[in-house]
Amino acid sequence: MVVCSTTTPPPAWLGDIARAGHVLALVLSFGVITLVDWYGLMWVIGRRRRRDSTDLADTAQPLIWAGIVLLLLTGAALHPDMHHPRSWLKLTAVLLIMLNGVQAARVSEHLRALRPTAPYLSAPSWVRRRVALTVGVSQLAWWTAIVIGFVTSTGRR
């Protein structure tokens, strides 16, 4: 995607479509991530069952990954300035989001090994730490990419 985005700038009409698609993909993927994290938090404080959280995460995965793929495709058409360190920081955040997503699937496997009604504190401490780390990395990376995207887009006007 980096190579595609740096070869030739897209025509103006494609840039407009890419910007709209990028925002829609962001709403899709980050919106679903926020819902999954919210359900996880509800499990942590005892308002949802473990099974509710993992079932939602399993159901949401295709939407999250579809949004991320669309973000990559539309991001390449936005022709980012690869000479700016901010662009590299955003790309690093996006890579971290994707790697963390793969790791989150592994955490879900460990969670599914618990009883469906298991309270959060009954999970082994190493599982609780991995859950917290996964959510923390996800939120940090998503917000980093969002803020950089916002700053970059407002700076181009």
Label residues 34-54 b or e (16+ Cβ within 10 Å = b).
eebbebbeebbeeebbbbbbb
Domain assignment present for residue 2? The answer is no
Q: How much is the average pLDDT of 100-113?
A: 95
100-129 mean pLDDT: 95
Instruction: Count Cβ atoms below 10 Å from residue 63 Cβ, excluding itself.
Output: 16
Find the helix or strand (DSSP H, E) in which 30 lies. helix 12-44
Q: Look over the chain and give the mean of its residue pLDDT values, rounded to a whole number.
A: 92
Alpha carbon 20 to its chain centroid, in Å, reads: 18
Q: Tell me the C-alpha distance between 28 and 22, whole Å.
A: 10
> What's the CA angle centered on 33, arms 1 and 50, to 5 degrees?
140
* Structural domain contains residue 5: no
Does 94 fall in a domain?
yes
Range of the domain at 27: 10-155
Whether 4 is covered by a domain: the verdict is: no
Distance CA 68, CA 74 (A): 10
Number of domains within the chain: 1
Asked whether residue 3 is domain-assigned, the answer is no
| pLDDT value for 91 | 93
Distances in whole angstroms, Cα of residue 146 to Cα of each of 11, 45, 107, 118:
24, 28, 25, 34
**pLDDT score recorded for residue 90:** 95
pLDDT tens digit sequence for 26-59 = 999 999 999 999 999 999 999 999 999 999 999 9
Domain assignment present for 139 = yes
Q: Tell me the average pLDDT across 3-20.
A: 77
Any domain includes 102: yes
The pLDDT-based confidence of 80 (bands split at 50, 70, 90) is confident
User: Tell me, what's the pLDDT at 71?
Assistant: 95
The answer on pLDDT for 157 being more than 60 is no
Residue 101 is assigned to a structural domain of this protein:
yes
Which pLDDT does position 88 carry in this prediction? 92
Q: What are phi and psi of 156, to 5 degrees?
A: -85, -10
Q: How much is the pLDDT for 6?
A: 62
Residue 4: predicted pLDDT: 61
The answer for residues whose C-beta is within 8 angstroms of residue 140's C-beta and 6 or more apart is none
